[in-house]
Amino acid sequence: MNKIALSIMATSLLTMSLQASEADLQKQIDELTAIVEKVETKSLSDKIKFSPELNLRADKFDYENNGITPNTSYASSSKSTSRGELVNGNEAYTKHYDPQLSVRLRLNMLTDITDNVKFTGRIGITHNSQNDQRICILSKDITASHSVAKTELDIDKAYLDYAINKNFIFSAGILPTSGGMSSSLIEDTPRKSVFPSLMFDMTSYGVAASANVGGDNWLRAILAKAYTKNADQFYYQCNRETIHNMDVAGLFFETKLPMMGDNTAYVGVDSLGKIKAQPYLGSTAAPESAMATAKSMGSIINYGTGLEVRSIAGGNFDAFAHLAFSKPSGNNTKVTYTPFSDDTYANGAMIDGDGSAFHIGTKYKVALLNDAKFGLEYNQGDKYWFSGTQGSEDVYNKLATRGNAVEVYYTQPWNRYVSSRLGFLQVTEDYTGSGWHFGEPAKKDAVQQNVYFMINAYF
């Protein structure tokens, strides 16, 4: 309660006390209190801008595994098992899941605390219907061994921006490091991250700085700790291993290329250090207790470049291309992960090979169809490709694929706030361990497919 309001109340109370009964006095106190609280609430709502997002989604997921070529560094077991993905020889199996329904509500918060200090935050609540099936590519079983938590609360952004001047911005908190270029194009939203998604797409907390070095040229630097979001929010995959408190350092140079309209080009590097390992594999892992004794396995450096061009060809086309490389440096620490008693899924030290990947895509707007948008994206990663994408907003984590992924979609706006999207995603796995930083990858022949429909509302 501010000083002016207290002064008004005190003066009013003094006046009332001279001419009112005790009952009347209490009634007027309550009325004044309600007035002051209403004024304060209005002041808070005027200061903080709230904008909700609602996502309603339905998915139909299918998976076919035509076999893995085992090797001694990948598996310690040679016998067939009905539960583990490691099978003897090339035994094939398929899985067809029931339609999956989910609801995600996000609340964005933005406020200018002072002329040069701004707060940004985002809280999300995810609810899904998948309480008896676990979409896990590491198991033949289609049924989860326990009910997956249906509702999850997450705070994925909460940071302060301090503008020392118009050319230098310092940020601290839970940083904007997920939903970057160019994963934001499919969502029809502005870029949310200081990173390109192919190189790093994960929740992190720490500090970042952006400095204008002349014209459209910016340097962006970050020092942070990374962590994955709650695994139950990502009911599609079970290979989002726990890498809490992984060190993150990055430096990127961004610019705008001449004669190409609205565009962003970049070149940069990020370092992922002290990477630990304890995979999420349904209910069989105990990540919290295991991480207490987990040891660092080494580090991985990612570097790359990319270009995103928006509103070209009369404002109807968006296009992008990203290229990245990963270079691991292990310290000989080894991990053996045995999700079940009769097989070993992955063991060994840090991956020992340089990796690479690229991500390309385009989106076309059709004015005759009320600005409907048709999009196509393709990404490919090689045998040793690794990037920090375990905290991405993409539920499939497709940019981590050791193989290739193609996604086609049709987005139909209904008004300025609401749109729907129909899409198809196919992920072809050429090697095991997509999204993993340890264990020697083995040759794999598997395909994931998903047909989805969603309704998005942004207010």
State which H helix or E strand residue 292 sits in.
Answer: helix 287-293
d(CA 208, CA 250): 9
Task: Give the domain range for residue 200.
Answer: 3-458
Helix 22-47 to helix 3-17 angle, to the nearest 10 degrees? 170
Helix/strand/coil percentages in the chain, nearest 5: 15, 50, 35
Report CA-CA distances (Å) from 391 to 160, 229, 388.
21, 6, 8
Count of structural domains, the chain:
1
Q: Which CATH number does the domain housing residue 57 bear?
A: 2.40.160.10
d(CA 328, CA 97): 36
Model pLDDT, residue 210: 96
Q: Which residues pair with 155 in a beta bridge?
A: 123
d(CA 238, CA 3): 54
Instruction: Let me know: does 447 contact 428? Beta carbons within 8 Å.
Output: yes
User: What is the pLDDT tens value at each position of the chain, 459 positions in all?
Assistant: 555 555 555 555 555 555 556 667 667 667 666 666 665 555 555 677 889 999 999 999 898 988 777 654 444 433 333 333 444 445 678 888 888 888 999 999 999 988 899 999 999 888 877 656 766 666 676 665 555 556 778 888 999 999 999 899 999 999 999 888 999 899 888 888 888 999 998 889 999 999 999 999 999 999 999 877 665 565 555 555 567 688 999 999 999 999 888 999 999 999 999 998 765 544 444 444 555 567 889 999 999 999 999 988 778 999 999 999 999 999 998 877 665 544 556 678 899 999 999 999 999 999 888 899 999 999 999 999 999 887 677 777 899 999 999 999 999 999 989 999 999 999 999 998 888 888 888 888 899 999 999 999 988
Model pLDDT, residue 139: 65
